[in-house]
Structure 1
Amino acid sequence: MVSAKQLALAAAMLSVCGLSYAESNITSDTYFYGQSEPVYPSPNATGSGEWAKAYEKAAAMVSKMTLEEKNNLTYGISSTANGCSGNIPAIPRLGFTGLCLQDAGQGVRNTDAVNSYPSGIHVGASWNRTLAYERGWHMGGEFRKKGVQVALGPVVGPLGRTTTGGRNWEGPSNDPYLGGALAASTVQGTQEQGVITSVKHFIANEQELYRNPTTNSDNQTVESISSNIDDKTMHELYMWPFQDALKAGAGNIMCSYNRVNNSYACQNSKALNGLLKTELGFQGFVVTDWDAQHSGVAAALAGLDMAMPDGQSFWGNNFTEAFTNGSVPVSRLDDMATRIIATWYQMGQDDSSYPAPGVGMPYNISEPHTIVNALTADAKPVLYEGAVEGHVLVKNVNNALPLQSPKLVSVFGWDAKAPDTMMPNGEFFIYNPWTLGLEPAIYQTGDVFLNSGLDVPDYYQVAFNGTLSVGGGSGASTGPYLSAPLDALQQRAYEDNSLLMWDTSVLPSSRGLMEASDACLVFLNAFATESMDRPGLREDYSDGLVKQVASTCANTIVVIHNAGTRLVDQFADHENVTAIVFAHLPGQESGRAIVNLLYGDENFSGKLPYTVAKNESDYATLFHSGAVTPYGLFPQADFDEGILTDYRYFDKHGITPRYEFGFGLSYTTFSFSDLKVSAPKKNIAAYPSGAIEQGGAVDLWETVATVTAKVRNTGRKSGAEVAQIYIGIPGGPIKQLRGFEKVLIPAGKSVKVTFPLARRDLSTWDVVAQKWLLQSGTYNIYVGSSSKDLPLTATMQVTSS
């Protein structure tokens, strides 16, 4: 039975949401599967570590503010003065210029004269920290020139738990180590330009279904999904990349739409007060995702610092009253204001050289306006190289690639051409295949979810109207131009004096063209967008097109611009499909990058940042879960798989993937040798005891052991290899990524790679001690080129006291 204490807790929770207990349909103890622990009061930031000077300045300014001025810092205002996603007003008498907050993680959104950079998943596929830093640096420069103080990115959550998640493409990887490392580099690069990064979405924001409250047919409110997650999983998986970003100095965290253990993330005191501001020592400020605020007093007490885009409904004048009547301590408001101003100082935005908020962000770019040009020539190599390195070659039979002076190349597939009507801006159409007149012989609905037991959806997210260079929603960006694959191929044909022909119609009929070609290039895409999850991981019409071409063309090469994991088993083993490329979302340099890779002017060096299965049923969590009965109004997602997501799950259950995490081919070959493990420190303390600064206990980051290996280029072409190290921690998954290094190696040469292993890399979360535990025992070490190809193995004995 539900206890009186639990009923009281439920009533309190429901009242915050504006619901009564009678409306909730709570009939079972199972409702209390996940209850978020209350953590109060909200800790005041201390200005520790590198934040000390910024806090001195901020405290001095805040001390001079009126109650109204401090209050006005905490919520956005509506404005037609600029096109910023969010605005905080200036306080002219104190020299505070205000804030413009603007999307997003792939470049400045909804404006002109900016670049469209490779997406998060494309950066993840590059496995290149340096490239992530340079991309962040150049993006940061563009945000700065446009008068943006807060760039709403990078994304590290969702982490890809829901394989069909609509926003997985915005982040680098399904693996927390890879995602965290690349996010940290992005934060460093962006913030060196003085732009505050907003790392999002905190936390366990793993699906789009039920992401916001909705109203059902009975006019009742259905709340957002609750991610019910245990303490160990929270720390070892979902918090991990956020911790990396904080260690790198991130000034802002965006809280997410979902509930966490039945408490909304933006008013979750455990997540904000406990995990973020206490355990991780966060010195910056917390902002809501847009319209993710669902309470006033409760959110403030739980650690929320800023509401966007307009906080009048919960804060505003009501907030001023809350401080005057004692509902919220004035010390909480002072901390909110100090955190915001300190972050402004920390990035040097008080400098007179920093552009005014929104100066380059016109409210409507279709109307006459003064263009603030943020484009620079020195960004071009980063845009191009970023596009190149995120391509992953997963099949290449008999050296089908690179193309060797072909006389006739034919192109098929709608994804090859530039979009029909406008520049890519993340808005593509969702097509019902039957409305396009597609033949059932090609579109085989019965094969959609082979052996999955799932219902067949009646639509697919495919961009038939042109090539996919970016996903949809707030992460989208628009560049000054787009190099589409077909355009770049025509330029190549001109330079080579070769023949290029194409049929990019939805129903190609050029069989003669297929038969006569030296190579047939088939361009497909898999679209994804914010606000909805993908209906599946395969799409039968596109797969049918590949099989149609391959039935006639003996050298069929498939290129897929995929906004997330995409299955290929309907054609991967076809004898005439000679090569497959996961092209991800390359941004504006898409065409130039893929053509130079196909012709061998560039070498493939990308690796998969996720696992490609043979079938949907191989994944632990393919689709969203959102069971609502018996409680009716409170969707629940129980993270029962714990930390066993992606390759960890495949390893645990002995499932052979089609292409494993970390896999990718090159035009050359590599070998690994000479594995050496330094003896770890003796009798190191089992638990960290260092001071808490932003990123957690400082001794979590100390190096306790080092592993080295030699990588040799055994082929005839210069190429880059990503050396990867996986650790088997006692009692944990079989192995987990704990280091990587991308090295460019000339043909016939060798390089030494070094993997420093920090205390955190070798620790597990102790749920009793509430600390990271470095265990005594045998740690297994694996080094190689992917999560399955690990030729070097060793063990390491760790003794902790």
Structure 2
Amino acid sequence: MMTRVEQTAHRAAIESALATLDLDTKVRLLTGQDYWRLPAVPEIGLAALTMSDGPIGVRGVVWSPDNPSVALPSPTALAATWDPEVSRLAGRVLGQECRSRGIHILLAPTVNLHRSPLGGRHFECYSEDPLLTAEIGIGYVTGLQEQGVGAQVKHFVANDSETDRFTVDVRVSQRALRELYLVPFERIVAAGVWSVMAAYNGVNGSTMTEHDELVNGLLKGEWGFDGAVVSDWTAARTTVATATGGLDVAMPAFAAPWGDKLLAAVRAGDVSEEQIDDKVRRILLLAGRVGAWSQVPPAVPASSFAGGLDVDAAAREIATRSFVLARNENGALPLDAGAVRKVAVLGALADDARILGGGSARVLPRHIVSPLAGLTAALPDAEVVYAVGADPRPELAAATGLEWTPITTTLRDAAGDALYESTIDAADVRWMGDLPESVDPATAATVEISATFTPSVTGTHLLAANGFGGLVLRVGGETVFEDQVYAPGDDPVTTAFLTPVEHRVPVEAVAGKPVDVVLTHRIYPGRHGFVTLTLGHGRPVADAGTLLDEAAQVAAEADVAVVVVGTTEEVESEGFDRTTLGLPGRQDELVARVAAANPRTVVVVNAGSPVLMPWVDDVAAVLLTWFPGQEAGAALADVLLGLAEPGGRLPTTWPRATADLPVLSTTPTDGTLTYAEDVLIGYRGWTAGPTAGLERRDREPLFPFGHGLGYTTWAYESLTVENGAAVVTVRNTGARAGREVVQVYVGATTGDGPVRPARWLAGFASVTAAPGDAVTVRIPLPERAFQVWDDGGWRTVAGTYRVEASASVNDPKITATVDV
């Protein structure tokens, strides 16, 4: 990071450049020139500042099939590591990816809280706890900015659910804001993040892009944030209120309320030129930090970048460290690869891995290792047998594999001449923001996916057309579907990208007989930067009952059954909230049937957030893998076979029943969503003390916050509180090396004072040890752990507090007390 001398020189350069810019140029700098970039100003050496979506990969300005990105595990997985250094590794990998693509700012991390597991974007956030969220977020930001790439922490603030997300006004107490929802932002700003994204939603009567109190007063004033505040895409809807409310950049170019309107507002005196200058200073500071301004050295010299990072190895390591072994009866895991002769792998998601959630977090990875592929490769001497059992996917998967060779995407002009052509692995094409650089958008008329389909089985196959615009599907030269799927006035972001509509066509095919398939999409004028097109394929399958029977039979004949269940993109995605925590389709029935057939049933839960498990007490083991990224199957094999320990601990509480949740509603009433639970979200609600009015001792969660098993055992030998820290000694009492996450919680010993939970997380640390070895860790107890927000300030609540060294919030191992 920059030294104080470098910062002083940087600010002098800003003032010098600012003096040369006229008002028109300064205003032009504040709005995107297109979907992802701010305009360049060559006369002062300023390049176009380029942004890209994250948080698990770097899409770049072209979301293109020939421009794949690494796909790391989801943010919930990252938080499940409980290790800021693992999060820092993720940031470094993505920083390397950004630099290779010319990206200056990554729109990540997302540090909104898990107020309710019904939140549709739950998988893209870290945790229900603000401290854990902050620590993982700081690691991510540090790793990313060490690579010279700016992080843009989002969505400031209280953007914790998706229903009516563009317009909802969140009503939340100042105490809950300060003690929970603002904490990750406050800590990450203090750690030196370079930009912040203002959310769509309102808070207590003002939208966040106009929120003078929270943006100017708190973020820029009290916290001293010197970076740029950028609107979420299309979140800025007014001119004067956003300009005076603290917003610095309105994105993207289309629908932005600034430009000529802001220029007129300044000339009319409604917005001062001093306010414009402050915004330009922040943009120049940001551009200088990321190396987009030639007048100053970047904040991080290129010589200090971590280069040559093995992204596949990093993705695999992060995944294994995130997996949470929630249940492991009688040491069912790890499996002995030498003793297993036949393994049943069951579930549609075992073959079609859910590696990421839906919405803007989606990327096109270089490759995907499915659970089936990972286990098959890791068990060369065993027979691995696969059966679908149950398929929860409401839409057909994109055509891929040996039956479809090759698959090509082609952009054509109105005359049918090819403008661009690329071979792709799966029949799924998306462009968002820009078409390929070689294509003049004005000339592009159609995009098509074409392939030769050689079926492996005879029967009725299903093909599906999915896209935004006019679609034509031809099979063997015959048109089998043609329709205008969306109207020209529809918003592509909220329709095609978040809630696509699939159109299925049955096609009779003969095994081994090739047929040409072409899906054509007519691009709407003015929508060249928004192309989404998928050719889906489904092989002939038996009815649902027969599939379940087959899975049970395969499981009965195997030494061990591995069932992969999970959610789909239609369940967990940006743009909408969940309506249930139940697994989609007949997956619960699949697990029950398999468990009845084979007592050695291991259930792998492939979901980004909590799901219900009515079968949990009947299976040998449950492994939570979140959305594990592109190395899903390889990491799964490592953990199931004991080559790596399941390193994760729960970053959020998993309920046994939906009704047990402290917070259920994500649906506004008359445009407002009231956080009536105040500070009692997540485990704070589950463990609310007697003054909270939420006594829940009759409703234990299925798996509590912080829970996770390993392949060894630990003894907590001592806990002392000295010099503002908890000093904990633990010993590995098992037969193999392992890792433990030592969690320290504090709680008041009486019910006097403000409403508080029974305990709350004050700190944590990861330890590793060989069999028989002991490790001592010192975990600071910050002053804030004993404070509440009261009457406009932080107040220490005097009294005696329990300090607990724990394996989870519900599993204190050793306790001490401290007087405050």
Q: Does TM, normalized by the shorter one, top 0.5?
A: yes
1:518 Cα offset (Å)? 0.7
Matching residue's letter, 1:485? P
Matched, 1:118 2:69: no
Q: Determine if the alignment matches structure 1 residue 150 to structure 2 residue 105.
A: yes
- The aligned counterpart of 2:684 is 648
Superposition deviation, residue 296 in structure 1: 0.5
- 1:789 is aligned to 811
Within 2, Cα distance between the matches of 1:502 and 1:312? 50
1:260-289 deviation per Cα after TM superposition (whole angstroms, max 9, x unaligned): 112111111122112211121111111111
Distance 1:734 1:411 in 2: 42
Query: CA offset at residue 51 of structure 1?
Result: 5.2
1:724 corresponding residue in structure 2: 743
Is the 1:51–1:283 contact (alpha carbons within 8 Å) kept by the matching residues of 2?
no
How far off is 1:54 after superposition? 3.4
Separation in structure 1 between the aligned mates of residue 260 and residue 236 of structure 2, nearest angstrom: 16
| Counterpart code for 1:171 | C
Residue identity matched to 1:524: V
CA positional deviation for 1:347 = 3.6
**Correspondence 1:523 to 2:574:** no
SS, match of residue 482 in structure 1? coil
Tell me if the contact between 2:555 and 2:598 (Cα under 8 Å) persists in the aligned partners.
yes
Matched residue, 1:475: 361
Q: Which residue of 1 aligns with 2:262?
A: 319
Structure-2-length-normalised TM-score: 0.75
Aligned to 1:240: 183
Determine the structure 2 residue equivalent to 1:106.
56
Residue 77 of structure 1, aligned match among 22, 33, 57 = 33
Contact 1:610 1:662 in 2 (8 A): yes
After TM superposition, the structure 1 = structure 2 runs for residues 218-237 of structure 1, keeping only pairs within 5 Å, are 224-237=167-180
One-letter code of the match for 2:101? K
Map of 1:393 onto structure 2:
325
1:751 is matched with 775
How far did 1:748 drift? 1.0
Match of 1:279 in 2: 222
CA distance in 2, matches of 1:650, 1:329: 49
Distance 1:623 1:229 in 2: 14
Q: What is the match of residue 18 of structure 2?
A: 62
TM-fit CA distance, 1:119: 1.3
Residue equivalent to 1:380: 312
- Aligned pair partner of 1:738 in 737, 762, 774: 762
Compared CA separation, residues 624 and 123, structure 1 to 2 (3 A): same
Q: Does the C-alpha gap of structure 1 residues 48 and 781 become closer, same or farther in structure 2, counting only changes over 3 Å? A: farther
Residue in 2 that maps onto 1:220? none
Deviation, structure 1 residue 762: 2.9
> Which residue identity is paired with 2:374?
A
Partner Cα separation in structure 2 for residue 354 and residue 592 of structure 1: 41
Distance of 1:407 and 1:314 partners within structure 2 = 65
CA contact 2:121–2:573 (8 Å) conserved in 1? yes
**Secondary structure of residue in 1 paired with 2:226:** coil
Distance 1:724 1:126 in 2: 13
1:638 equivalent among 674, 685, 701: 674
SS at match of 1:63: helix
- 1:475-514 residue pairs with structure 2 within 5 A? 475-494=361-380, 497-506=381-390, 507=544, 508=547, 509-510=549-550, 511-514=552-555
Whether 1:342 aligns to 2:274 is: no
1:604·1:665 contact (CA, 8 Å) conserved in 2? yes
**How far off is 1:348 after superposition?**
4.0
> In the alignment, is the contact (CA less than 8 A) between 1:411 and 1:521 conserved in 2?
yes
**Superposition deviation, residue 331 in structure 1:** 0.3
2:715 alignment counterpart = 671
| Cα distance change of structure 1 residues 163 and 715 upon mapping to structure 2, 3 Å threshold | same
Return the alpha-carbon distance in structure 2 between the equivalents of residues 484 and 384 of structure 1. Answer: 12
Q: Does the 8 Å contact 2:48/2:292 carry over to 1?
A: no
The one of 83, 86, 96 equivalent to 2:46 is: 96
| Partner of residue 601, structure 2 | 556
User: Is the contact made by 2:45 and 2:294 (CA closer than 8 Å) also made in structure 1?
Assistant: no
CA distance in 2, matches of 1:98, 1:118: 30
AA paired with 2:603? Answer: V
1:59 Cα shift?
2.3
- For residues 197 and 773 of structure 1, the distance between their equivalents in structure 2, rounded to whole angstroms, comes to 32
Letter in 2 for 1:407: R
Mean Cα displacement is larger for which, 178-187 or 518-527?
518-527
State whether residues 49 and 292 of structure 2, in contact with CA within 8 Å, keep that contact through their aligned partners in structure 1. no
AA in 2 matched with 1:774: T
Shift, 1:512, TM fit? 2.8
- Size of the aligned set, in residue pairs, is 630
CA offsets per residue over residues 306-329 of structure 1, 9 Å max, x none? 111126642111111111111101
Report 1:121-140 matches (<5 A): 121-140=76-95
Aligned residue identity for 2:81: S
Query: Could you tell me how far apart the structure 2 residues matched to 1:786 and 1:612 are?
Result: 13
* C-alpha distance in structure 1 between counterparts of 2:255 and 2:592, whole Å: 56
Secondary structure (helix, strand or coil) at the match of 2:281 reads helix
Instruction: Name the CA distance, whole Å, in 2 between partners of 1:207 and 1:750.
Output: 43
Deviations 1:205-232 (A, max 9, x none): 11111112xxxxxxxxxxx111101111
Q: Deviation at 1:130?
A: 0.7
Q: Is the 8 A contact 1:115 1:375 kept in 2?
A: no
The Cα RMSD (Å) is 2.0
CA contact (8 A) 2:58 2:97 kept: yes
CA distance in 2, matches of 1:174, 1:142: 29
Letter in 1 for 2:56: Q
Distance, in Å, in 1 between the alignment partners of 2:736 and 2:378 is 22
Post-superposition offset of 1:60: 2.2
5+ residue gaps, structure 2 = 299-305, 391-543, 689-694
1:412 aligns with 2:340: no
Check if 1:207 corresponds to 2:161: yes
Say which structure is richer in strand.
Answer: 2
Question: Do 2:288 and 2:296's aligned partners in 1 also have CA atoms closer than 8 Å?
Answer: no
1:256 and 1:717 map into 2 onto residues whose CA distance is 47
**1:75 touches 1:311 (CA, 8 Å); kept in 2?**
no
Question: 2:524 aligned with 1:592, yes or no?
Answer: no
CA distance 1:619–1:486, change in 2 (3 Å) = same
Q: Deviations over 1:618-647 (max 9, x none)?
A: 11222313112xxxxxx1111110110010
What amino acid does structure 2 have at the position aligned with 1:392?
V
Aligned-residue offset at 1:763: 2.2
With over 3 angstroms needed to count, the CA separation of the structure-2 counterparts of 1:651 and 1:51, relative to structure 1, is: farther
Distance 2:371 2:83 in 1: 24
**Residues 534 and 192 (structure 1 numbering): CA distance in 2 closer, same or farther, change over 3 Å?**
same
Percent identity of equivalent pairs: 32
* Secondary structure of the corresponding residue to residue 148 of structure 1: coil
**Separation in structure 1 between the aligned mates of residue 780 and residue 108 of structure 2, nearest angstrom:** 28
Matched residues in 1 for 2:262 and 2:560: separation?
66
CA apart distance, 1:291: 0.7
Query: Which residue, out of 286, 289, 298, partners 2:241?
Result: 298
Report how far residue 477 of structure 1 moved: 2.1
Secondary structure of the equivalent of 1:723? strand
Q: Specify the code of the residue in structure 2 equivalent to 1:278.
A: G
Structure-1 separation of matches of 2:215 and 2:16: 25
Distance in 2, Cα, partners of 1:72 & 1:711: 59
SS, match of residue 725 in structure 1: strand
The correspondence for 1:166, drawn from 105, 113, 120, is 120
| Pairwise CA distance, 1:716 | 0.4
User: What is the CA-CA distance between 1:162 and the residue it aligns to?
Assistant: 2.6
Matches within 5 A, 1:554-633: 554-568=599-613, 570-574=614-618, 577-628=619-670
Q: Which runs of 5+ in 1 are unaligned?
A: 1-46, 79-84, 213-223, 356-373, 418-465, 629-634, 680-704
Q: Which amino acid aligns with 1:60?
A: S
Tell me, yes or no, if the aligned pair for 2:210 and 2:245 is still in contact at 8 Å. yes
